[in-house]
Chains A and B, each alone.
Chain A
Amino acid sequence: SQQGEEDPQALSIQEGENATMNCSYKTSINNLQWYRQNSGRGLVHLILIRSNEREKHSGRLRVTLDTSKKSSSLLITASRAADTASYFCATSSGGSYIPTFGRGTSLIVHP
């Protein structure tokens, strides 16, 4: 079963534009993570935000978390062609360290 649901399923933008992806989940969480996956490769961890945090930044990435709405967003600013990948949110709940992944957003950045 997949806890998180990313939206949109696919996103196509021009280089230099910002990309925003959203993640909604159903049950309360300990933390939420975002991962990137290039085609045919493994997943790469981008950022982790804890349930008591509202916003985190890492380079061109900005993640927000709204636990009242059970949603998170990932913003990539000034996108580059190299940002083309699938992006997944993953939530962890209770006392276990088992991230549960959504279906992902496929991002294409055109040069």
Chain B
Amino acid sequence: EAGVVQSPRYKIIEKKQPVAFWCNPISGHNTLYWYLQNLGQGPELLIRYENEEAVDDSQLPKDRFSAERLKGVDSTLKIQPAELGDSAVYLCASKGRDSPGELFFGEGSRLTVL
């Protein structure tokens, strides 16, 4: 069974440029999470999807961040425009419907904003 797939693994951009990250969760997992992880810190939730519905996006900076999960499968996280402080690792995770809480994480997308 394939795990959670994220791309790109690494991205370097100039500030004010846009960037997008893509996530393909484990097949059949209805819950999808985007977390942000700064260096030396634990992951912090940005947004959670139940199928195609964003059910918790209170931590998503909506002035520059947006996310979508069309058809309740793949998801895209976008930043426009990027700022220096956005440099971090963006982690995608998914959870099965009957799981009490175990999350499966992708390898993450490391963003560097210059």
Chain A residues engaging chain B, CB cutoff 8 angstroms: 2, 4, 30-31, 33, 35, 40-45, 48, 50, 88, 90, 92, 96-104
Q: How many residues of B contact A (CB 8 A)?
A: 25
Interchain CB contact (< 8 A) of B4 among A31, A42, A102: A42
B33-51 vs A, Cβ < 8 Å mask (1 yes, 0 no): 1010000111111001000
Apart from A43-B103, A103-B41, list 17 A-B contacts with CB within 8 A.
A2-B41, A31-B100, A33-B101, A41-B108, A42-B91, A43-B93, A44-B105, A48-B100, A48-B102, A88-B43, A96-B48, A96-B56, A97-B101, A98-B56, A99-B101, A101-B42, A103-B40
B89-114 vs A, Cβ < 8 Å mask (1 yes, 0 no): 00101010000111111111010000
Contact between chains at A97 and B95 (CB < 8 Å): yes
Q: Which residues on the B side are within 8 Å of A102 (C-beta)?
A: 42
Chain B residues engaging chain A, CB cutoff 8 angstroms: 4, 31, 33, 35, 40-45, 48, 56, 91, 93, 95, 100-108, 110
Interchain residue pairs with CB less than 8 A apart (26): A31-B101, A33-B101, A33-B103, A41-B108, A42-B91, A42-B105, A42-B108, A43-B43, A43-B91, A43-B103, A44-B105, A45-B103, A48-B100, A50-B100, A88-B42, A97-B31, A97-B95, A98-B45, A98-B56, A99-B101, A99-B103, A101-B42, A101-B43, A102-B42, A103-B42, A104-B40
Q: Which residues on the A side are within 8 Å of B95 (C-beta)?
A: 97
A30 to B100, CA, bound (A): 9
Q: Which residues on the B side are within 8 Å of A48 (C-beta)?
A: 100-102
A48 to B101, CA, bound (A): 8
Interchain CB contact (< 8 A) of B44 among A40, A42, A101, A104: A101
A98 to B45, CA, bound (A): 8
Contact between chains at B103 and A92 (CB < 8 Å): no
A46 to B102, CA, bound (A): 9
A46 to B53, CA, bound (A): 28
Contact between chains at A100 and B45 (CB < 8 Å): yes
Q: Which residues on the A side are within 8 Å of B44 (C-beta)?
A: 2, 101
A1 to B106, CA, bound (A): 22
